[in-house]
Chain A
Amino acid sequence: QQPVQSPQAVILREGEDAVINCSSSKALYSVHWYRQKHGEAPVFLMILLKGGEQKGHEKISASFNEKKQQSSLYLTASQLSYSGTYFCGSLFNKFYFGSGTKLNVKP
């Protein structure tokens, strides 16, 4: 029941864009996104509750396609501070996180 994230890892140059996908074989009713820097706790980014919902925070935004059972996280004009591992999560009968996407932004 764990959501599946792709890609597993991304290497970017500063200023480049990236997309991280989160999909499920079961119906998704809401999707959480978190970022975790090395050696730190995960930090909340955003929650999408409805199909078709889109949200944004600075240059990070996300969409939720309920019919396709997937969500995507968009990082625009990436900054060095965006480096870390990104996790999506969703509630099925209990809460499951995806295995994560490791993002490395280089100067």
Chain B
Amino acid sequence: NAGVTQTPKFRVLKTGQSMTLLCAQDMNHEYMYWYRQDPGMGLRLIHYSVGEGTTAKGEVPDGYNVSRLKKQNFLLGLESAAPSQTSVYFCASSQNSNQPQHFGDGTRLSIL
């Protein structure tokens, strides 16, 4: 039972570089979420999806794009990385909004 798998686990980028974070879930969940967590802070929703082919903006969507082409995958893209995007990124999935969210182990992203 893999649950929610995030790749990569760590990454260092230079300002202006682009990258994609991958989230994969094997629980057949409809909902998927991307959060960022800054040191000592709570989780802030970046984007989310309520089903294959759908995406919606969260609380802090600027500078990020997402895609959900397959139900099991949710991709988070940074087109032009900025130091302010240095954070830990968590992906989560749930069956619906009233079911538990299952989190991946996180991606630690540093932008220099």
Partner of A44, one of B33, B102, B104: B102
Tell whether B58 is near chain A: CB-to-CB under 8 Å: yes
- What CA separation (Å) do A78 and B100 show in the bound complex? 24
Extra inter-chain contacts (13) besides given A94-B59, A100-B41, CB under 8 Å: A2-B42, A32-B101, A40-B105, A42-B90, A43-B103, A44-B100, A87-B43, A91-B98, A95-B48, A96-B45, A97-B42, A97-B44, A98-B42
A107 nearest CB across to chain B (Å):
25
In the complex, the chain A residue whose C-beta lies closest to that of B101 is: A44
B1 in the interface, Cβ–Cβ < 8 Å? no
Residues of B within 8 A of A97 (CB): 35, 42-45
How many of B's residues come within 8 Å of A, CB to CB?
23
What residues of chain B have their CB less than 8 Å away from a CB belonging to chain A? 33, 35, 41-45, 48, 56-59, 90, 97-106
Contact assessment for B90 and A99 in the assembled complex, using a CB-CB cutoff below 8 Å: no
Complex Cα distance A41/B35, Å?
A: 11
B45 and A42 contact, CB distance less than 8 A:
no
Give how many A residues have a beta carbon under 8 Å from the other chain's beta carbons: 21
Give Cα distance in the complex from A89 to B44, angstroms: 11
Given contacts A41-B90, A42-B90, A44-B100, contact A94 B105 (CB under 8 A): no
B69 to chain A, nearest CB (A): 22
Interface residues of A in 38-52 (CB under 8 A from B): 40-44, 47, 49
A: which residues have CB within 8 A of B? 2, 30, 32, 34, 40-44, 47, 49, 87, 89, 91, 94-100
Interchain nearest-CB distance for A3 vs B (Å): 9
Which residue of chain A lies nearest to B35 when distances are taken between CB atoms in the complex? Answer: A97
Contact, CB under 8 Å: A99 / B56? no
The contact of B48 among A94, A99, A100, by CB within 8 Å, is: A94
* Complex CA distance for A96 and B33, rounded to whole angstroms: 12
Quote the shortest CB–CB distance from B54 to chain A (angstroms): 13
Cα A30 to Cα B101 in complex, Å, equals 13
Contact B102 A49 (CB under 8 A): no
A6 to chain B: closest CB distance in Å? 14
